[in-house]
Structure 1
Amino acid sequence: METTEKLQLLADLIKIRSVNDHELQVAQYLKGVFDRAGIESHIVPMTGDRANLVATLGHGQPVLAISGHMDVVDVDEAHWDTDPFEMVTKGDRLYGRGVTDMKDGLAALVIAMIELKEQAVPLNGTIRLLATVGEEVGELGAQALTAAGYMQDVTGILIGEPTGYRVMYANKGTMNLTVTSTGKAAHSSMPQLGNNAIFHLINALHLMQDEFDRMTTGVRNATLGETVYNVDVIAGGNQVNAIPGSATAQINLRTIPELSNHAIVHHFEQVLDQYNQRSNGHVTVEMATDIGPLVGATDGKLTRLIQKIGNPYAAKQTITPAERDYEAKILKLLDLPYSPTEILAVSSPGGTDGAQFLKDHPVGFDYAVFGPGNDSQHQDNEWTSKSQYLDFIEIYKQVLTQYFD
């Protein structure tokens, strides 16, 4: 494919407003691309305007899965300098919603497959593309494809989430909790006639924080670090002169294998039960999202191939001192190493569809996350590097070929 075609494919994907929905339109577009290239693909419908896409190149064992999600996060168009659903080029930067998370990685994987087909590169195995719905909210597509058996014969998986010139082989789990306090509404001049739900919620959150600190002290994973706990949303009450009858809080945790999601919830349930028994409060906790941590092979074949093939590209990248200093600062805050000239293997504080794909193989699988992009994902004026996008196509082609050697 010519460079203009590669950029046009990405621009076409950006035009499709797959904001937490409408991935069927992306799947249909990509199926048309694969059909014209003579690559077998099929759409796997879900509900409404949503569907996964599976494409296959080569045959036999081993089977290497490659994956990217088709959904993007919501956008506040008023805060953008350009139309977020029209890819705009400014120098080496390409702007658009999802251009870095992760339609550039998905497009690069698709183009790599097409060019391998065009060049009749022999493959001693099978490449299976799994393009998914709903990664940003619940990893729904990956869950459905795994349940349907698309991972049963896979020996390695490469996910094209944005990492830039880093490769990630492990990520923390994700757990969202909703804490609900139920009281009784009353006029604020007569609080004895009511039961203040916010008062009990605040007490409960303090107790939960204490319990979290107790259970996590000294508990650390050598690769992923410590469990992370954040109270992110609190809601309760409707006016200042009324005792609130209900209140809620939402908590996000990033978890490690040493302390399972269900073990954490069990501890919190015990703390709240004890509080309810000794007070007139009624506070409960419910798990809304339950995604376990994932630690791939520390010396996996995919990671080693990516480093060998990708290091020359990392070394020649054009990066300003300001960009280098910014990247180093961000990674230092995340307690991650940084190199502007080589691809380091690191863990990720965030999650990917890998948690669903590898739910039966959470430790030791040949798993790598490596894709074009940067830390502008989920932000206004999201952008990716045009040169990096094109470089990753070449890196992917070599990785997909040499994986079967």
Structure 2
Amino acid sequence: MQEEQKLSILKDIIAIQSVNDHEKDVAVYLKQLFDETGIKNDILPLGDSKTRANLVAEIGNGKPVLAISGHMDVVEVDADRWDTDPFTLTEKDGNLYGRGATDMKAGLVAMVIAMLELKESGAKIPGTIRLLATAGEEVGMPGAKAFKDQGYMDDVDALLITEPSGIYRAIYANKGELNVTVKSAGKAAHSSMPYLGNNAVEHLIAVLQKIKTEVKDITADFNNDVLGKTVINIDTIKGGNQVNAIPSAAEAEINIRTIPEFDNAKIWTKLQDIVNAYNASGTGEITITVGMDVTPISGNSDSKLLKDIQRIAAPFVSSDKLSDDERQKLRAEAKAVGIQNYTPGEIIAEGVPGGTDASQLIINQPVGFDFVMYGPGNNTPHQDNEFVPKSQFLNFINIYKQLFMEFGI
């Protein structure tokens, strides 16, 4: 496949406005490519939605099975803040601009093109390469959950997620995420007669303080060598209507980044205990609900998949040009994960605080599974003027082709 055709496929995918929906349009486009090349594939509806769907495609057969996954949705965009049309792939100074260019249509398309080229070449794949293209990763991960529930991960030996890591980093662990909404119900009254009411804001503040203090205390002794400690933040808060009225309602949202050593289930149990004790001790009426619930993942730093990536990608890494600033940042990052004598050109294996679809796909095997996140991109996900370096996108296609051929050997 010529470079122009590869860029054309990415351009077509970027043009599909799959903003938290309409992933089926992406799946239909990919299905056409696979059908034309003779690759077995299926579009899998997601619930009753007419606009959301997953797509599965396979090359090769038998064991081992390498699942490769990327999501088809993107986040909202404020087009007025972009220098270019966010849904028109635009090349400038060696970079490709567009919504989803980094997160994560470049990674998805690179995998697809690698599969197409291997099929067209007649290469014999040692094992099975199974693409799981998901819907809804950005909000709730329903696509990944459906793949897991439908058994597509049951026979999988390793999982590659092509979220943006950049070429110098291979990610094998990520923190979990627990988003909790805390609501306080009270009774309104005139502020000159507070004894006639029940101040929902004051109860909310009190219980939030207990939650933050007690969660920090109970998780203080738990640490993951790669991911660090549990992090808890109170991120939104609202309540009351005016300054001379006792508020009857208030609510806040808490974001907790979790680690396997003290996972989401343990955190949730602790939060329920705190709220139940608070309600039993006075006049407070506090309720809590969970929004996002992403399992922390800690893979295997000695896995075959990780070692294969580091070996196969090495020539591409060494040919990449780095500024002095970038070299310094990489050295600092390497030192943070215990690599004291890092030479830019090596691929750093590390963990990240953010989650991926892996949290649903390998939810039953969150520790020790052969999992790596490695894909084209940079630190512009969800940002205005999101982009991916053109050379990186093209290099990853070749990295994936070689990886798919050698994983089963």
TM superposition score normalised by structure 2: 0.95
Residue of 305, 320, 324 corresponding to 1:321: 324
2:97 and 2:315 map into 1 onto residues whose CA distance is 26
Name 1:71's counterpart in structure 2: 73
C-alpha change, 1:369 and 1:5, in structure 2 (3 Å) is: same
Name 1:81's counterpart in structure 2: 83
Q: Displacement, 1:288?
A: 2.1
Name 2:283's counterpart in structure 1: 280
| Residue 18 of structure 2 is aligned to residue 14 of structure 1 | no
Bigger Cα displacement from structure 2, 239-248 vs 386-395:
239-248
Would the aligned equivalents of 2:171 and 2:349 in 1 still touch at CA under 8 Å? yes
Would the aligned equivalents of 2:337 and 2:350 in 1 still touch at CA under 8 Å? no
2:316 and 2:238 map into 1 onto residues whose CA distance is 48
2:327 and 2:91 map into 1 onto residues whose CA distance is 22
CA offsets per residue over residues 26-50 of structure 1, 9 Å max, x none? 0000001111122111100112300
| Residue 377 of structure 2 is aligned to residue 385 of structure 1 | no
| Secondary structure of 2:115's aligned partner | helix
Q: Displaced runs of 4+ in structure 1, greater than 6 A?
A: 332-338
Q: Displacement, 1:196?
A: 1.4
C-alpha change, 1:179 and 1:346, in structure 2 (3 Å) is: same
Name 1:130's counterpart in structure 2: 132
The number of equivalent residue pairs is 404
Bigger Cα displacement from structure 2, 106-115 vs 281-290:
281-290
Q: Displacement, 1:262?
A: 1.9
Name 1:306's counterpart in structure 2: 309
| Residue 364 of structure 2 is aligned to residue 360 of structure 1 | yes
Name 2:173's counterpart in structure 1: 170
Name 1:404's counterpart in structure 2: 408
Give the aligned residue type for 1:21.
D
| Secondary structure of 2:288's aligned partner | strand
CA offsets per residue over residues 189-208 of structure 1, 9 Å max, x none? 33222211111111111111
2:116 and 2:258 map into 1 onto residues whose CA distance is 38
Q: Displacement, 1:161?
A: 0.4
Give the aligned residue type for 2:6.
K
1:365 and 1:269 map into 2 onto residues whose CA distance is 30
Identity percentage over the alignment? Answer: 51
Any gaps of 5 or more consecutive residues in structure 1?
A: none
Would the aligned equivalents of 2:260 and 2:367 in 1 still touch at CA under 8 Å? no
| Secondary structure of 1:253's aligned partner | strand
C-alpha change, 1:333 and 1:73, in structure 2 (3 Å) is: farther
| Secondary structure of 1:27's aligned partner | helix
5 Å-filtered alignment, 1:241-260, equals 241-260=244-263
Q: Displacement, 1:171?
A: 1.1
1:402 and 1:94 map into 2 onto residues whose CA distance is 29
| Residue 99 of structure 2 is aligned to residue 97 of structure 1 | yes
2:134 and 2:188 map into 1 onto residues whose CA distance is 45
Would the aligned equivalents of 2:220 and 2:229 in 1 still touch at CA under 8 Å? no
| Secondary structure of 1:84's aligned partner | coil
5 Å-filtered alignment, 1:42-61, equals 42-46=42-46, 47-61=49-63
CA offsets per residue over residues 305-332 of structure 1, 9 Å max, x none? 0000111211211222344456667x48
Q: Displacement, 1:124?
A: 1.8
Name 2:205's counterpart in structure 1: 202
5 Å-filtered alignment, 1:209-248, equals 209-248=212-251
Give the aligned residue type for 2:96.
L
| Residue 124 of structure 2 is aligned to residue 150 of structure 1 | no
2:237 and 2:331 map into 1 onto residues whose CA distance is 33
Residue of 269, 277, 280 corresponding to 1:266: 269
Name 1:371's counterpart in structure 2: 375
| Secondary structure of 1:60's aligned partner | strand
CA offsets per residue over residues 140-177 of structure 1, 9 Å max, x none? 10100111111111111111000002101111111111
Q: CA RMSD in A?
A: 1.8
Would the aligned equivalents of 2:226 and 2:337 in 1 still touch at CA under 8 Å? no
Give the aligned residue type for 1:3.
E
Q: Displacement, 1:267?
A: 1.8
Give the aligned residue type for 1:298.
S
1:395 and 1:208 map into 2 onto residues whose CA distance is 46
Give the aligned residue type for 2:186.
G
| Residue 398 of structure 2 is aligned to residue 394 of structure 1 | yes
Any gaps of 5 or more consecutive residues in structure 2?
A: none
Would the aligned equivalents of 2:59 and 2:128 in 1 still touch at CA under 8 Å? yes
Q: Displacement, 1:272?
A: 2.3
C-alpha change, 1:66 and 1:176, in structure 2 (3 Å) is: same
Name 1:5's counterpart in structure 2: 5
Would the aligned equivalents of 1:336 and 1:346 in 2 still touch at CA under 8 Å? no
C-alpha change, 1:327 and 1:181, in structure 2 (3 Å) is: farther
Residue of 116, 119, 127 corresponding to 1:117: 119
TM superposition score normalised by structure 1: 0.96
Give the aligned residue type for 1:308.
R
1:52 and 1:192 map into 2 onto residues whose CA distance is 56
Name 1:340's counterpart in structure 2: 344
